[in-house]
Structure 1
Amino acid sequence: MTKRQTTTTTASITWKDSGVPVAEQFDDPYFSLEDGLAETRHVFIDGNELAARFRPGFQIAELGFGTGLNMLAAFIAWLAAGSPEGAGFTSFEAFPMEAVDIDRALRAFPEAHAVAGPFLSAWAEGARRFDLDGFAVEVIEGDARETLATWDGKSDAWFLDGFSPAKNPELWGEALMGEVGTHTAPNGTFATYTAAGFVRRALDAAGFDVERVPGYGRKRHMSRGILRP
């Protein structure tokens, strides 16, 4: 592995020989060791049925921005859906990665890296709000347990992508999942790679009908759900 030191305000990264970045704070990789883009599409894009749901004004929200891979996958899906006007993506991230690390990580996924140029340029300049051909992106830095409560938006689809619940339980607690429910639009959905029982119970308590469905690759199960009326 090669390692690069960072400040306490940004993510501290260790690199596996395979090129996968690992968050030192949580000892957890940022994406699947098999194919992170394919996993993103299975879990978040298909799990929220975005291809059939994109419409003008559609809003996505996410816990855990990481490398921005999920955002780029959503952007690609939005383009494929005809770029409905007014779509947006808001993500909450406590330990933002530096642009050089994001660029290095995304090179593992040529399709995503090919459209990442404007994002990487904006990120390197310190911008946390930027526009990708009409797809508005905002990344809110800080502890989501504090920042989500003050967000004035509501999401049509949630990507719940914190690090493993066993290693990062703070991002999966009942209070935070309650805020996710509060900040979900009518008929809004969530999807996540985890099927941990306490996470599913917290989402049920937050107002979602939760189902366990087949996961990606070696992960037997994942979870998704829709907000109850």
Structure 2
Amino acid sequence: MATHAPDLEWLPGDVPRAEGFDDTYFSKAGGLNETRHVFLAGNNLPTRFQSRSSFTIAEFGFGTGLNFLTTLAALKDVPAAPELLFVSFELYPMTKDQLARALGAFPELNVFASELTSVWAPEAGWNRLSIGNAELLLGIGDARQMIGELTLMDPGRSGGTTQIPPVDAWFLDGFSPAKNPELWDEDLLRQAANLTSDDGTLATYTAAGWVRRNLQSAGFTVEKVGGFAGKREMVIGRKG
């Protein structure tokens, strides 16, 4: 199956907007600070990295890779940092040039961005990339289908599945639920819950009522907290 790059419009400040979803990849108010507020702080990171030998994060929507690289930057400052597995899904992977242009807006991430773009050649299916002290497991395709190929690690299990440790934190970062409801589907979120550790958490920028209800039906306990910049609310949660 061939991969298709997104059709982008570049807004001031080199903020990419996906024409197919009529939505930007990150906040025009500051993508780096948005990621730190929503996904890192929302999952109590990097505090939870401490005293861990390994940690698994998963997200829906790799996009520009901003969440991944921001996580790597936070991990760098943690003494005796754990090995990180970052699992992500992307239906429309950017080209190397698109990725480099988008990440150029964040000079603080230049070292990691250069490392990522130097090996960026995603193909349909599962791609494994080693960046910094982390492994990126990138699924190129429809997350609703590909998540079924993931199973929790079991030495006795073999066959056509990709095994991962239980997910410790979810970054739920698809485009606006109103414009991309597929990534907020109850069945998809239920499968995410099934892959989550008993003390696993989630964070998302959206506080849409039907998304909260889908998360609760999937097996998460959720609450609304203050959002980023002009957004009044976002959602955090935990399994159970």
Q: Normalised by the shorter chain, which TM-score bucket?
A: over 0.9
TM-superposed CA distance for 1:12, in Å, is 1.5
| 1:163 counterpart (175, 180, 185) | 175
Corresponding residue number in structure 2 for 1:116: 113
| 1:76 counterpart (73, 85, 93) | 73
Query: 1:188 and 2:200 equivalent?
Result: yes
1:16 partner letter: L
Determine the C-alpha separation between the residues in 1 that align with 2:171 and 2:65: 12
Q: Is the 8 A contact 1:57 1:87 kept in 2?
A: yes
How many percent of aligned residue pairs carry the same amino acid? Answer: 47
Determine the C-alpha separation between the residues in 2 that align with 1:16 and 1:85: 37
What is the TM-score with the length of structure 2 in the denominator? 0.88
TM-superposed CA distance for 1:223, in Å, is 0.3
For each residue in 1:78-104, what CA deviation from the matched residue of structure 2 results, as whole angstroms up to 9, or x when unmatched?
Answer: 111135242210101111111111110
TM-superposed CA distance for 1:125, in Å, is 7.5
Determine the C-alpha separation between the residues in 2 that align with 1:22 and 1:169: 18
Residue ranges of structure 1 left out of the alignment (5+ in a row): 1-6
Determine the C-alpha separation between the residues in 1 that align with 2:53 and 2:238: 20
Residue ranges of structure 2 left out of the alignment (5+ in a row): 152-163
Corresponding residue number in structure 1 for 2:150: 151
For each residue in 1:45-67, what CA deviation from the matched residue of structure 2 results, as whole angstroms up to 9, or x when unmatched?
Answer: 00000111112110000100000
For each residue in 1:103-139, what CA deviation from the matched residue of structure 2 results, as whole angstroms up to 9, or x when unmatched?
Answer: 1011111112232111111104869321123211111
CA root-mean-square deviation: 1.6
Question: Which region of structure 1 is more displaced relative to structure 2, 123-132 or 52-61?
Answer: 123-132
What is the TM-score with the length of structure 1 in the denominator? 0.92
| 2:91 counterpart (91, 94, 105) | 94
Determine the C-alpha separation between the residues in 2 that align with 1:114 and 1:35: 19
Corresponding residue number in structure 2 for 1:138: 137
Determine the C-alpha separation between the residues in 1 that align with 2:86 and 2:93: 16
Question: Which region of structure 1 is more displaced relative to structure 2, 69-78 or 114-123?
Answer: 114-123
